[in-house]
């Protein structure tokens, strides 16, 4: 039987979170990026009846009829808030190309660098009330998975925090105010001198704008969203004392502040060998952090204004290879989404227990393309996904080439 937690302090917690976020609460996006490509069979799409899943057990969840892998027991208690998509498809089976595609909804093209989903959101939905970066990447250790601004410009790249919750290195003023003023005055003299006769070139570097944004951030109370020292010890333990766990906790705090897009990365799913053992290790990190994030967002009345997406660049082969691993599999993999008007407690699509023949893959039912998933997210967040943006070389490109999937939304039946 699944346990249900009760907090007698819940109304006070909700009140603080809602007050902090404000009554006008535009939707935010939290992406939990599973770097390396997690196996769908050891996470959201178990097939214990398959000879290739002998170590996998399927467990019940709080969503009627939905079973997930036994390695995610805490997430099983939160699935009533979420939808599992078991039929995501891609044509990119290489890590770098697959990451690019799932980050941007466009396949790699040598003639253009497309912006990531988070960068599009910040560009299309600016919020002058946010004094800290509005596109944040937490825990990342791989340049290919950092949300980039692409042709929108480097100013839309995600702000990277490698060890969330541990320190705010270079984000706090390190000297007293008088010395800071002297430093900025002297910097202004040098900058103005260099600008003479180079106005256009200097403007293109975004140097002054970067300094101004940095100074605004350093003086802002919103910077406290990156801190977790005031969180109760029970909360820290619940998320897990890992970079990913602290990242999910910081993501919740950033959402409370109103930050538009946050990505939290968990690497380590490239399990070509010892697949099951690798997923035991990674799900011990993922399970408490993801479950605590969803529970806290729901308890604090923030889930309706926060979309949570858990996804990687592709899945793993249904068949086990000779060294006990699973290889790259973009033909039918799983993701989880919820909040922000998306359906709850639902399963979309299905895969066969052994969706692989010697000649070609067996396609999943109700396949969902990445561009269609992202068009749905953008639509829910109030972005015109079909709008054409003009690249620096004058090429018109749609914000997203997909079409919204009504089956993913809470109002669809």
DSSP 283-315: HHHHHHHHHHHHHHHHHTT-GGGEEEEEEES-E
Q: Does 118 score more than 50 pLDDT?
A: yes
DSSP string for residues in 163-215:
STTT--TTTS--S-HHHHHHHHHHHHHHHHHHHTT-HHHHHHTTHHHHHHHHH
- What is the homologous superfamily of the domain 13-167+227-408 according to CATH? Alkaline Phosphatase, subunit A (3.40.720.10)
Decide: helix, strand or coil at residue 343.
Answer: coil
Mean pLDDT is lowest, of 132-146, 181-195, 274-288, 382-396, for 181-195
Q: What residues contact 403, with CB distance under 8 A and at least 6 apart?
A: 371, 372, 375
Local structure of residue 89 (DSSP, 8 states): E
Please state the φ and ψ torsions of residue 59, each to the nearest 5 degrees.
-120, 150
Residue 11 pLDDT greater than 50, yes or no: no
What does the pLDDT look like over 354-382, one tens digit per residue?
876 656 788 899 999 999 999 999 999 99
Which tokens hold the place of 122? 């910040």
**How far from the centroid of its chain's Cα atoms is residue 316's Cα?**
20
Phi, psi for residue 212 in degrees, rounded to 5: -65, -40
Residues of the chain with CATH 3.40.720.10: 13-167+227-408
The confidence band for 195, taking pLDDT boundaries of 50, 70 and 90, is: low
In the prediction, which pLDDT does 143 show? 76
φ, ψ dihedrals at 119, nearest 5°: -65, -40
pLDDT in tens, 206-259: 666 666 666 666 777 899 999 999 999 999 999 999 999 999 999 999 999 999
Give the Cα separation of 63 and 77 in Å (integer).
Answer: 8
Bridge partners of residue 320, in order along the sequence? none
Contact between 160 and 146 under an 8 Å Cβ cutoff? The reply is yes
> Using one digit for the tens of pLDDT, what is the confidence trace for 378-399?
999 999 999 999 999 999 999 9
- Report how far residue 385's alpha carbon sits from residue 379's, in angstroms, rounded to the nearest whole number: 7
Query: Which two tokens mark 227?
Result: 């801190």
Query: What are the start-end ranges of the H helices in 22-129?
Result: 73-76, 95-104, 117-124
Q: Which residues contact 80 (CB under 8 A, 6 or more apart)?
A: 61, 62, 63, 344, 345
């Amino acid at each position: 039987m699944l346990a249900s937690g009760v907090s007698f302090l819940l109304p006070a917690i909700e009140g603080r979170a809602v007050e902090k976020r404000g009554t006008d609460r535009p939707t935010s996006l939290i992406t939990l990026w599973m770097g390396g490509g997690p196996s769908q069979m050891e996470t959201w799409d178990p097939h214990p009846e398959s000879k290739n899943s002998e170590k996998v057990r399927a467990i019940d969840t709080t969503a009627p009829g939905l079973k997930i892998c036994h390695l995610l027991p805490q997430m099983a208690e939160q699935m009533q808030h979420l939808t599992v998509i078991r039929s995501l498809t891609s044509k990119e089976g290489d890590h770098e190309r697959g990451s690019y595609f799932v980050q941007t909804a466009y396949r790699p093209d040598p003639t253009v660098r497309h912006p990531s989903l988070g960068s599009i959101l910040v560009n299309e939905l600016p919020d002058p009330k946010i004094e800290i970066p509005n596109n944040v990447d937490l825990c990342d250790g791989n340049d290919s998975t950092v949300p980039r601004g692409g042709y929108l410009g480097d100013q839309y790249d995600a702000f990277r925090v490698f060890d969330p919750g541990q320190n705010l290195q270079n984000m706090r003023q390190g000297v007293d105010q008088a010395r800071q003023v002297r430093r900025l005055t002297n910097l202004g003299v040098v900058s103005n001198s260099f600008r003479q006769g180079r106005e256009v070139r200097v403007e293109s570097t975004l140097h002054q704008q970067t300094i101004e944004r940095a100074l605004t951030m350093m003086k802002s109370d919103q910077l406290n969203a990156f801190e977790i020292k005031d969180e109760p010890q029970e909360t820290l333990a619940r998320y897990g004392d890992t970079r990913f766990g602290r990242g999910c906790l910081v993501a919740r705090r950033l959402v409370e502040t109103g930050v538009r897009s946050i990505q939290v990365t968990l690497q380590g799913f490239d399990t070509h060998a010892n697949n099951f053992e690798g997923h035991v290790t990674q799900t011990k990190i993922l399970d408490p952090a993801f479950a605590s994030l969803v529970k806290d967002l729901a308890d604090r009345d923030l889930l309706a204004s926060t979309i949570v997406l858990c996804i990687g660049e592709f899945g793993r082969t249904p068949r086990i290879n000779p060294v006990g691993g699973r290889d790259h599999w973009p033909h039918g993999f799983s993701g989880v989404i919820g909040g922000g008007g998306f359906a709850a407690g639902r399963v979309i699509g299905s895969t066969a227990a052994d969706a692989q023949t010697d000649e070609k893959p067996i396609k999943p039912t109700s396949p969902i393309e990445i561009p269609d998933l992202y068009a749905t997210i953008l639509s829910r967040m109030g972005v015109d996904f079909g709008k054409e943006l003009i690249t620096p070389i004058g090429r018109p490109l749609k914000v997203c080439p997909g079409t919204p999937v009504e089956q993913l939304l809470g109002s669809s039946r």
